[in-house]
Chain A
Amino acid sequence: MREHATRPIGGSAAASRRRRLRLPLGIASIAVLLAACGDAEQNALDPAGPFAQAPHDLIIPVAAIALFVFILVQGLIIYSVIKFRTRPDDDGSLPAQVHGNTRLEIFWTVIPAVILAVIAVPTVQGIFDIMDEPDEDFLTVEVIGHRWWFEYYYPDFDIYTANEIVIPVGTPVRLEMTAADPARSPDQGVLHSFWIPRLAGKQDMVPGQTTFLNIQADEPGRFLGQCAEYCGLSHANMRARAVAMDQADFDTWVEQQMTPAAVPDEGTLAAQGRELYHDLGDNRPACASCHQVWEDGSRGPNVGPDLTHLFSRQEFVGAIRDLDEENLRAWLLDPNSVKPMQYDTPNQIGMPNLDLTDEELDALVAYLMTLDPS
Chain B
Amino acid sequence: MSSTEVEHKGYSGRPRAQSGFTAWLTTTDHKKIGIMYFFTVLVFFFLGGAESGLIRAQLAQAEQSLLTEEIYNQVFTMHGITMVFLVVMPLSAAFFNYLIPLMIGARDVAFPRLNAFSYWVYLFGGIFLYTSFFLGGAPNGSWVGYAPLSLDSVSNMAYYAVGLQILGVSSLAAAVNFIVTILNMRAPGMTFMRMPVFIWMALVTNFLLLFALPIIAVALFMLHADAVLGAQFFNPATGGDPILWQHLFWLFGHPEVYIMILPAMGIVSEILPVGSRKPLFGYAAVVFAGAAIGFIGFGVWAHHMFTSAIGPVARSAFALSTMFIAVPTGIKIFNWVFTMWGGKLRFTTPMLFSIGFISMFTIGGLSGVTHAIVPHNAQQHDTYYVVAHFHYVLFGGALFGLIAGIYFWFPKVTGKMMSEKLGKMHFWTWLLGFNLTFGPMHMSGLLGQPRRTAVLPGELGSTVELYNLLSSLGFVVLFFSALVFLYNLITSIKSGEASGDDPWDARTLEWLTPSPTPFHNFDVIPTVTHRDEFWHRKYAEDESGRAIPVPAGASEDHDEAGAHDEHIHMPDPSYWPLVQTLGFFPLGYGLVYLNWWLIGIGITWLVVGMYGWIIEPVAEGDDDDPVDDQHDATAPTAAAH
Q: In the complex, are the beta carbons of B370 and A62 less than 8 A apart?
A: yes
Q: Does A73 contact B (CB under 8 A)?
A: yes
Q: In the complex, are the beta carbons of B242 and A109 less than 8 A apart?
A: no
Residues of chain A within 8 A of B111, CB atoms compared: none
Closest chain A CB from B59 CB (angstroms): 10
Interface residue from B68, B70, B148, B337 paired with A190 (Cβ < 8 Å) = B148
Q: Does A1 contact B (CB under 8 A)?
A: no
Residue pairs across A and B with CB atoms within 8 Å: the count is 349
Q: In the complex, are the beta carbons of A42 and B460 less than 8 A apart?
A: yes
Q: In the complex, are the beta carbons of B148 and A123 less than 8 A apart?
A: no
Distance, CA A226 to CA B282, complexed state (A): 48
Residue of B whose beta carbon sits closest to that of A60: B376
Distance, CA A43 to CA B443, complexed state (A): 10
Distance, CA A227 to CA B383, complexed state (A): 11
Residues of chain B within 8 A of A42, CB atoms compared: 447-449, 459-460
A 330-364 to B, binary, CB cutoff 8 A, 1 in contact else 0 = 00000000001010011100000000000000000
Q: In the complex, are the beta carbons of B459 and A11 less than 8 A apart?
A: yes
Residue of B whose beta carbon sits closest to that of A232: B149
Q: Does A206 contact B (CB under 8 A)?
A: yes
Q: In the complex, are the beta carbons of B457 and A105 less than 8 A apart?
A: no
Q: In the complex, are the beta carbons of A120 and B236 less than 8 A apart?
A: no
Q: In the complex, are the beta carbons of A84 and B344 less than 8 A apart?
A: yes
Q: In the complex, are the beta carbons of A193 and B382 less than 8 A apart?
A: yes
Interface residue from B359, B363, B378 paired with A200 (Cβ < 8 Å) = B378
Residues of chain B within 8 A of A94, CB atoms compared: 277-278, 344, 539, 546-548
Residues of chain B within 8 A of A108, CB atoms compared: 330-331, 334
Distance, CA A35 to CA B343, complexed state (A): 44
Q: In the complex, are the beta carbons of B327 and A80 less than 8 A apart?
A: no
Q: Does A189 contact B (CB under 8 A)?
A: yes
Interface residue from B334, B342, B380, B458 paired with A104 (Cβ < 8 Å) = B334
Q: In the complex, are the beta carbons of A112 and B326 less than 8 A apart?
A: yes
- B: interface residue count bin: 35 or more
Q: Does A263 contact B (CB under 8 A)?
A: no
Distance, CA A33 to CA B467, complexed state (A): 9
B 38-74 to A, binary, CB cutoff 8 A, 1 in contact else 0 = 0000000000000000000000011111001110010
Interface residue from A19, A70, A190 paired with B149 (Cβ < 8 Å) = A190
Distance, CA A32 to CA B443, complexed state (A): 14
Residues of chain B within 8 A of A209, CB atoms compared: 236, 243, 309
Residues of chain B within 8 A of A124, CB atoms compared: 316, 319-320
Q: A94-B539, A104-B338, A124-B320 are in contact. Are A346 and B153 (CB under 8 A)?
A: yes
Residue of B whose beta carbon sits closest to that of A192: B149
Segment of A126-134, A285-293, A300-308 in the binding face: A126-134
Q: Does A207 contact B (CB under 8 A)?
A: yes
Q: In the complex, are the beta carbons of A25 and B466 less than 8 A apart?
A: yes
- A: interface residue count bin: 35 or more
Q: A74-B359, A127-B316 are in contact. Are A35 and B463 (CB under 8 A)?
A: yes
Q: A22-B61, A84-B342 are in contact. Are A77 and B359 (CB under 8 A)?
A: yes
Q: A97-B547, A98-B281, A233-B70 are in contact. Are A66 and B366 (CB under 8 A)?
A: yes
Distance, CA A269 to CA B466, complexed state (A): 47
Interface residues of A in 193-241 (CB under 8 A from B): 193, 195, 197, 200-204, 206-209, 211, 224, 226-237, 239
Distance, CA A126 to CA B366, complexed state (A): 20
Distance, CA A99 to CA B146, complexed state (A): 47
Q: Does A327 contact B (CB under 8 A)?
A: no
Closest chain B CB from A181 CB (angstroms): 9
Distance, CA A340 to CA B72, complexed state (A): 12
B 304-347 to A, binary, CB cutoff 8 A, 1 in contact else 0 = 00011101100110011001101100110111011011111111
Interface residue from A14, A98, A230 paired with B458 (Cβ < 8 Å) = A14
Q: Does A95 contact B (CB under 8 A)?
A: yes
Q: In the complex, are the beta carbons of B381 and A202 less than 8 A apart?
A: yes
Residues of chain B within 8 A of A123, CB atoms compared: 316, 319, 372-375
Interface residues of B in 219-256 (CB under 8 A from A): 235-237, 242-243
Q: A42-B447, A109-B331, A342-B154 are in contact. Are A207 and B236 (CB under 8 A)?
A: yes
Distance, CA A128 to CA B155, complexed state (A): 36
Q: Does B358 contact A (CB under 8 A)?
A: yes
Q: In the complex, are the beta carbons of B307 and A232 less than 8 A apart?
A: no
A 240-255 to B, binary, CB cutoff 8 A, 1 in contact else 0 = 0000000000000000
Interface residue from B324, B331, B335, B452 paired with A230 (Cβ < 8 Å) = B452
Distance, CA A126 to CA B284, complexed state (A): 38
Q: In the complex, are the beta carbons of B462 and A32 less than 8 A apart?
A: yes
Q: In the complex, are the beta carbons of A73 and B333 less than 8 A apart?
A: yes
Residues of chain B within 8 A of A11, CB atoms compared: 459
Q: Does A283 contact B (CB under 8 A)?
A: no
Residues of chain A within 8 A of B377, CB atoms compared: 201
Segment of A85-93, A149-157, A166-174 in the binding face: A85-93
Closest chain B CB from A338 CB (angstroms): 12
Q: A86-B346, A127-B319, A207-B237 are in contact. Are A14 and B379 (CB under 8 A)?
A: no
Q: In the complex, are the beta carbons of B69 and A236 less than 8 A apart?
A: yes
Residues of chain B within 8 A of A100, CB atoms compared: 281-285, 335
Residues of chain A within 8 A of B242, CB atoms compared: 191, 206-208
Residues of chain B within 8 A of A44, CB atoms compared: 379-380, 383, 446-448
Q: In the complex, are the beta carbons of A73 and B237 less than 8 A apart?
A: no
Distance, CA A150 to CA B54, complexed state (A): 30
Q: Does A101 contact B (CB under 8 A)?
A: yes
Residues of chain A within 8 A of B324, CB atoms compared: 116
Segment of A51-59, A135-143, A270-278, A366-374 in the binding face: A51-59
Q: In the complex, are the beta carbons of A54 and B283 less than 8 A apart?
A: no
Residues of chain A within 8 A of B383, CB atoms compared: 44, 228
Q: A99-B279, A108-B330, A232-B152 are in contact. Are A58 and B146 (CB under 8 A)?
A: no
30 contacts between A and B (CB under 8 A): A14-B459, A17-B62, A37-B464, A39-B461, A44-B447, A66-B369, A76-B341, A81-B340, A81-B347, A84-B343, A84-B345, A86-B344, A95-B343, A98-B342, A100-B284, A109-B327, A124-B320, A129-B375, A191-B146, A191-B149, A195-B450, A197-B379, A201-B375, A208-B237, A208-B242, A230-B451, A232-B73, A235-B69, A235-B453, A236-B457
* Additional pairs, 20, CB under 8 Å, beyond known A14-B457, A98-B281: A13-B459, A66-B370, A69-B362, A73-B337, A77-B355, A80-B340, A80-B345, A84-B276, A86-B345, A95-B343, A97-B541, A104-B282, A123-B373, A195-B378, A200-B378, A232-B140, A233-B154, A236-B457, A340-B68, A340-B69
Which B residues fall within an 8 A CB radius of A? Answer: 61-65, 68-70, 73, 140-142, 146, 148-149, 152-155, 235-237, 242-243, 276-279, 281-285, 307-309, 311-312, 315-316, 319-320, 323-324, 326-327, 330-331, 333-335, 337-338, 340-347, 355, 358-359, 362-363, 366-367, 369-370, 372-383, 446-455, 457-466, 469, 539, 541, 546-548
Report the 6 A-B pairs with minimum CB-CB distance, sorted nearest first: A201-B378, A42-B448, A208-B236, A40-B461, A236-B453, A55-B375
